[in-house]
Amino acid sequence: MKHAPEPLSFEKSRAGLAPPRLPKAGVPSSAALPDHLRRQRAPELPRLSEPELLRHYSRLASLNFSISEHFYPLGSCTMKYNPVANEEAARLPGFAQLHPYQEEASIQGALELMWRLEQALCAIVGVDRVTLQPAAGAHGEWTALRMIQAFFESLGESRPEVIVPDSAHGTNPASAAMCGFKVVQVRSGADGRVDVADLHSKLSTRTAALMLTNPNTLGLFEKEILAMAAAVHAVGAKLYYDGANLNALMGICRPGDMGFDAVHLNLHKTFTTPHGGGGPGAGPVGVKADLAPFLPRPTVEAEGGCYRFDFDRPQSIGRVRSFYGNFGMLVRAYAYILAMGSDGLAQASEDAVLAANYVRKRVEHLLHLPYAGFCMHEFVASAGRVADGRVRALDIAKGLLERGIHAPTVYFPLIVPEALMIEPTETESKATLDAFVEALVEIVELANSDPAALRAEPRSLPIGRLDEVAAARQPVLRWSRTLDSGEKAPADGSSPQGDPRQPAAVPVPTA
Amino acid sequence: MPYLVHSEAERQEMLAAVGANSMAELLADVPTELRLSELELPAGLSELDTMAEIRRLAAKNQVFSDRLCFRGGGVYQRFIPAAVAAVLAKPEFYTAYTPYQPEASQGTLQATFEFQTLIAELTGLAVANASLYDGATAVAEAAVMAVVQTGRHEVVVAPFLHPEYLEVLRCNARGRGFRVVQDLNAVGDATAAVIFQQPDFLGLLVEAPDLTKLAHQHGALAIACVDPISLALLAPPGEYGADIAVGEGQQLGLAASLGGPHLGFIACRQQLTRRLPGRLVGQAQDGSGRRGFVLTLTAREQHIRREKATSNICTNHALCALAASVYLTYLGPDGLRQVAEVSCQRAHFLAQRLSELPGVRLAYPERPFLNEFPVRMSQLERRLAGLSQAGILGGLQLGRWCPDLADAATFCCTEVNDPDAIEQLITALAAAA
Ligand SMILES: Cc1ncc(COP(=O)(O)O)c(C=O)c1O
């Protein structure tokens, strides 16, 4: 397939093109804006006709890999099928047209949906209350840490530290820091699980929380979870669950039963709301009863078949975003839970675990598997030994792209060199999984026979490997006229210099 | 079962290939005392029954027709061109994820680069990021940028910042350890930023250039929270020297949807680029000199810098940013201006008609506004209830946030509130008194 480059909308813009037909005011004009607050120069937005506009975006769409067309085993991201019925549900005017400041009596159905979704999530993860306000997983982490912080403040305790495993996702330490906590790292042991002895040495009455993912980011179940929970609680700290990997556990076991006090969920992972090219998602947070007074305002309460917002929560941390969360995503997730039910959710998690183990088994002669035993819903392999180190994880990733398969997550978690993190999900057929393995076989053969050829892939995609180091050294972050005509942007003394911290040619984690 | 793909025979085949006799064997790492027998949820439903239940819930909500919605307060009914829905419905966009692999994501990357340019143009600033969650979190992110940039630990907020944005800012400030002060007289050497909203929560125009000057006199940053459509008419933050512009992009082609998902945006002066939160897309070249786009300046972000990152944001609101790009590109500069002007003229006409009613007066008759404004009226509660019965979503009561304005509500107009709708509102309001 030939890919003609698609110009930017700004480059396709044609001066003099009339705007689309729009309503006229139809009323006498009396508005007078003060001159000094008026805009001087019109913004330079592109002018495109509607047919050109739609073709532009159709062409751009054709340059993307997506779940709808490609296997997308991007570990940690749970790229599973996004049911089309849920899209229809969220678009119903009875949801999409609601103004957030309508009176409660006029949004009873929306409130009931939020209440029922909260009940369902409580049942799935084993907590007492859930807030639906956070917009994404990281936002949920931060919300829960704020609640834990407020909880300890209410007790008059100062607990400035949050413990995070070295295998944790970057958002965990970042969320802790955004909350003013000092981040303390705990080591993973040789078996890929938290080193419990190291944990004991880090836990103290300074600890506010331990943040854990279970299964962890290596796809391994933390077998010592009950002992770890006991140790955390013994120093009076809270145990936090990063729910990015909940897809392994539905109907199998519940974070609440493991001893977790607070849990975030990524509705855009486990509960199939689409990833949207990077969002929007939703990151509800569930908590045990002792943290519930600190939930963001408002909560949704049910009384005698009526539903209402409760703003009167004196210990609440306040708001973490405007209104009530990404409501459109909540509708989709609830539709998914209804359709799946207790039986379907449990089967989904089992199938996810089965698929990961199947792929893991089939690639064990191709890639190095640093941890023995069965995995949960994903696993991490190392490309470090492929072709005796003459190719890297990045090359394997690009080879997969060349063969029409989205790459796994690479270089994450940080504790596995040349990591490839593979999460097949439950919605990919065995035939697709087999095709993935065959593609890997071909890539590893090529790596052995002609590593330079692999390093030159992809060849047939819209673009080859980009010079990311140069892009970061002289960043061009927007179109401008000077760019268009090929001139250099004027040196105004403010143009950013290369960032010394930008890792030179070191591939970066992609999750 | 819905959305699952294996036959029972395939499951057995896969288990055998793995070398396990049962699923229980694969799950042996899960302590038995934790194993559930069953989730306490109903069994699954057919698509037909699922959608019937979903429709039952949707039908319990009262849907006001667009043209009869005069309530704003941060979320506005506007005309959404069919082109927006057509692009958002493309699964190549909505079922992809963050464009980590540029060779397989040029569509999302280029669309984001275009979005960054559109926001930079609208705000008159050098750089915009790929999106944030909403207007409220965008204000909080901007405040954090200012605190880090200046090393100071206090932000001053001008009157009538959206009360929910203020609440989110306070929640962030308490966690991060900086103060939020609501007194412009307090701006001084400890001030990291002066934050103001233009137009403010009431819809009134503020003296943005003066507030910017005030910030700069004390070495603080000026953060403008702006309405993107207003920027077709009003001076953009870059023109009056503000350092950071943020805002809510819902009006750019997104449904009200009870408040989300919507779109946060943030733009800044070039010198602050490396303090920006979230994703940034930049231009790059491949080995044969072809232009492409790629996530860049990632050394600011959580996946590289972990606890030293500028923000914790990972998943953002990319698809909402795409909607905004389609919307702005559909309208172009003249269309956007026309939308803003029509809204402004209609609102001024509505203000005129409202103030002719007995017992109704503009709350700030001397203050300029664009397309939203506060009015005081007798029997406010009763009148708004009367409107609702007539199928009209009237103004937003201000009492819950502003005790001084207990008898006031803000009304807004956009291009969807035609002159007949305005007359309908006036008639119903007079009848409800
Ligand atoms: C393990 C883990 N934790 C946290 C997150 C953050 O979630 P989000 O991107 O929704 O903010 C992710 C995903 O990106 C993740 O994989």
- Other Cβ atoms less than 10 A from the Cβ of B105: the count is 30
Q: What architecture is domain B66-78+333-432?
A: Alpha-Beta Complex (3.90)
What was the pLDDT predicted at B432?
85
- Percent of chain A whose predicted confidence (pLDDT) is above 90: 92
CB distance A248 to ligand 1 below 6 Å:
no
Torsion A42-B244-B100-A375 (CA) sign: negative
Confidence category of residue A505, pLDDT binned at 50, 70, 90: very low
Instruction: Report which protein residue has its CA nearest ligand 1's atom 16.
Output: A76
How far is the centre of ligand 1, averaged over its atoms, from the C-alpha of A454 (Å)? 30
For A355, residues 6+ apart whose C-beta sits below 8 A from its C-beta are A377, A424, A425, A426, A428, A433, B14
Q: Is the model more confident about A232 or about A494?
A: A232
Interface of B with A in 315-374 (CB under 8 A): 315-320, 322, 325-326, 328-339, 341-342, 344-349, 352, 368, 370
Nearest-atom index, ligand 1, CA of A141: 4
- Assess whether pLDDT exceeds 70 at residue A483: no
Q: Which of B314, B316, B319 to mutate to test the pocket of ligand 1 (most atoms within 8 A of CB)?
A: B314
What was the pLDDT predicted at B433?
78
B326–A34: do the CB atoms touch at under 8 Å?
no
CATH 3.40.640.10 fits domain A86-339: yes
B91–A68: do the CB atoms touch at under 8 Å?
yes
What is the tally of helices (H) and strands (E) in chain A?
16, 12
- Assess whether pLDDT exceeds 70 at residue A490: no
**Sheet containing B264-268, strands listed edge to edge, beginning at the edge strand earlier in sequence:** B127-128, B264-268, B244-248, B221-226, B191-198, B154-157, B179-181
Residues B263-284: pLDDT tens digits? 999 999 999 999 999 999 999 9
Interface of B with A in 51-90 (CB under 8 A): 51, 53-64, 66, 69, 71, 73-75, 77, 79, 81, 83, 86-87, 89-90
B205–A98: do the CB atoms touch at under 8 Å?
no
CB distance A214 to ligand 1 below 6 Å:
no
CB distance A281 to ligand 1 below 6 Å:
yes
How far is the centre of ligand 1, averaged over its atoms, from the C-alpha of B39 (Å)? 25
| Option in B39, B239, B296 nearest A40 (CB) | B239
Task: Write the DSSP string, B246-266.
Answer: EEE-TTTT---GGG-S--EEE
- Assess whether pLDDT exceeds 70 at residue A494: no
Residue B232 contacts A, CB cutoff 8 Å: yes
- Assess whether pLDDT exceeds 80 at residue A484: no
CB distance A256 to ligand 1 below 6 Å:
no
Confidence category of residue A500, pLDDT binned at 50, 70, 90: very low
What was the pLDDT predicted at A84?
98
**Residue B99: closest CA among chain A residues belongs to which residue?**
A277
Average confidence (pLDDT) over B352-370: 97
- Assess whether pLDDT exceeds 80 at residue B239: yes
Average confidence (pLDDT) over A226-243: 98
On whether the CB atoms of residues B283 and B291 are closer than 8 A, the answer is: yes
What was the pLDDT predicted at B85?
97
Neighboring chain A residues of B260 at a CB cutoff of 8 Å: 135, 280, 321-329
Name the nearest CA neighbour of A401 among B130, B311, B100, B232. B100
Q: What architecture is domain B83-324?
A: 3-Layer(aba) Sandwich (3.40)
Statement: the pTM of the whole predicted model exceeds 0.95: yes
What was the pLDDT predicted at A2?
58
- Assess whether pLDDT exceeds 70 at residue A193: yes
Neighboring chain B residues of A103 at a CB cutoff of 8 Å: 388
Domain ranges (residues) in chain A: 86-339, 475-511
A-to-B residue pairs, Cβ atoms closer than 8 angstroms: 722
What was the pLDDT predicted at B137?
98
Confidence category of residue A249, pLDDT binned at 50, 70, 90: very high
- Assess whether pLDDT exceeds 80 at residue A476: yes
CA–CA gap between residue B351 and residue A75 (Å, rounded): 55
Domain ranges (residues) in chain B: 66-78+333-432, 83-324
B260–A110: do the CB atoms touch at under 8 Å?
no
Neighbouring-strand partners of residue B264: B132, B248
Residues B102-116: pLDDT tens digits? 999 999 999 999 999
Average pLDDT over all residues of chain B: 97
Residues B254-263: pLDDT tens digits? 999 999 999 9
- Assess whether pLDDT exceeds 70 at residue A77: yes
